Amino acid sequence: MKQEFAIHWFRQDLRIKDNPSLNYLSKKYKRIVAVYIYDEVNCDKKLGSASKIWLHHSLIYLNKKLQGNLVIYNGDPIKFFKLILHQYNVLEISWNRCYEPWVIKRDRFIKNNLKEEVKVNSFNASLLWEPWEILKQDGTPYKVFTPFYRKGCLNYKKPRIPYTRKFNFFDHQIKFSDISGLKLLTNKDWEKKIIKYWMIGESHAEESMHTFFSSGIKDYFEGRNFPIKKNVSKLSPYLHWGQISPNTLWYEALKNKNKSDSKNIDTFKSELGWREFSYNLLYHFPKIYSQNLQKKFNRFPWTKNNKFQISWEKGKTGYPIVDAGMRELWQTGYMHNRVRMIAGSFLVKNLLIDWNTGEKWFWDCLFDADLASNSASWQWVSGSGTDSSPYFRIFNPTTQAKKFDPNGEYIIKFIPELKEIPLKYLFSPWECPKNILNDINFKFGIDYPRPIVDLKLSRQKALSAFSSLKSY
């Protein structure tokens, strides 16, 4: 007799708690088989290097949580499901939705092809509100964040309350691949170094949440802008991979409203709202990850400069706050959000390099590389998005560093070769007098690069280029 069970298909919901699909199946079935399918067949944008590292360790953690019963498959999901339906008595297949355009297309195809053979269901586990729920009165999507969040989200029904049921995973007899068979790691030294800064898995996501709400939230409104301060949650990788739900964070924030200034809590909730807005844009404008939302930017005179691009990627532009951010990214798989804006602005506005170049580098290097958030943020910085930074807003990396890293602690942390430069000159080391440089035995071009562009001239060039779009 064929084994009888239901299947939960893990995707970007790598957790047990507050998992709507698992909750649903556990009400109906005594036996649940957990599956993870690594699908590079149907995707338009393959996982970046950092994402593969996070996924590898996440699957190891999850498999231990499931006592070694996680079924791993590499390939087209429809082939896997057809095979397993032939071999076993599968009562139902359930998963939690993802919103990348190719995933939506694939899932629709799977549902249509399996519905005659087995019951198929899907749920929302990664967003507070579905993208098709938050619309303007005329039924069109919002294109500006503030009305989206204030009028749309906060006036809609409250987010689902987190809930967890007991699950009955069992020792099945399904033959499957192991995690190493996915070949997510290549044994590079970088892979081993970058992971040292993180503990990966659902319980570590919860620990990070509790740490943040016990201390970091207290000065979140102001402190989140200072990269050396511990006022950011660093929950974005866990949130992206579904190791904690946005619903859990939303209601945990509400719980802590009495412990912190309401402004801090409201600001944190609005950051969750920005994530919702990014997904809303991706759903309604599915080409956002590769095409300008404002079509006039298709005519923008971007430059191609391989030397500048490599200097930016390696954190060797000669502008300390930019370089510190890019080195933080390479060393830790993360970059502070304020510094992301500064580094992004420098690429597209001072170097006039297409935002797609930055999006691709971040996609490859970030542990929280999220198609919706990464794309929307880069389009915001470049000015090509819907609710974008105006073209004339060009972050000055020197003044930004003085304002948000006034003691230079963040800069020195990631650019230790500048530690002997007096604070007065740390933000613009090229202004440091020669006698001081000689005293500390510091040589430009050897110990640290000179600026690759002049801020004033590059700003004027950018303003001229952006102004040329006014006629369109």
Could you tell me what percent of the chain has a pLDDT over 70? 98
What is the rounded distance in angstroms from the CA atom of residue 191 to the CA atom of residue 330?
A: 10
The residue that leads in pLDDT, 391 or 45, is 45
CATH number for the domain whose boundaries are 127-160+189-284 = 1.25.40.80
pLDDT at 470: 72
Instruction: Tell me which residue has tokens 């007065």.
Output: 424
207-222 tens-digit pLDDT: 999 999 998 999 999 9
Is-contact 96 246, C-beta < 8 A? no
pLDDT at 259: 65
| Of 127-136, 183-192, 354-363, 416-425, the least confident | 183-192
- pLDDT category at 171 given cuts 50, 70, 90 is confident
| Of 95-109, 177-191, 323-337, the least confident | 177-191
In the predicted model, what is the mean pLDDT of residues 261-286?
96
Cα-Cα end-to-end distance for the chain: 69
- pLDDT category at 390 given cuts 50, 70, 90 is low
Question: Is the pLDDT assigned to residue 21 strictly greater than 60?
Answer: yes
Question: Is the pLDDT assigned to residue 337 strictly greater than 80?
Answer: yes
- pLDDT category at 309 given cuts 50, 70, 90 is very high
Buried/exposed 258-290: b ≥16 CB within 10 Å, e otherwise: eebeeebbebbbbbbbbbbbbbbbbbbbbebbe
Question: Is the pLDDT assigned to residue 269 strictly greater than 80?
Answer: yes
Is-contact 34 25, C-beta < 8 A? no
pLDDT at 467: 86
Is-contact 352 301, C-beta < 8 A? yes
Strand partners, 36: 10, 72
CATH number for the domain whose boundaries are 295-467 = 1.10.579.10
Question: Is the pLDDT assigned to residue 472 strictly greater than 60?
Answer: no
52-67 tens-digit pLDDT: 999 999 999 999 999 9
- pLDDT category at 187 given cuts 50, 70, 90 is confident
Is-contact 113 93, C-beta < 8 A? no
Question: Is the pLDDT assigned to residue 46 strictly greater than 80?
Answer: yes
Question: Is the pLDDT assigned to residue 388 strictly greater than 70?
Answer: no
Question: Is the pLDDT assigned to residue 392 strictly greater than 90?
Answer: no
Instruction: Tell me which residue has tokens 């297409």.
Output: 354
Predicted structure pTM score: 0.96
226-253 tens-digit pLDDT: 999 999 999 999 999 999 999 999 999 9
pLDDT at 110: 97
Q: Which CATH architecture has domain 4-125?
A: 3-Layer(aba) Sandwich (3.40)
Select from 177, 176, 128 the least CA-distant residue to 148: 128
Question: Is the pLDDT assigned to residue 257 strictly greater than 80?
Answer: no
In the predicted model, what is the mean pLDDT of residues 357-367?
98
pLDDT at 51: 98
Domains 4-125 and 295-467 agree in fold: no
What is the rounded distance in angstroms from the CA atom of residue 423 to the CA atom of residue 129?
A: 47
- The tokens describing 376, both together, are 């929307």
Q: Where are the domains of the chain?
A: 4-125, 127-160+189-284, 295-467
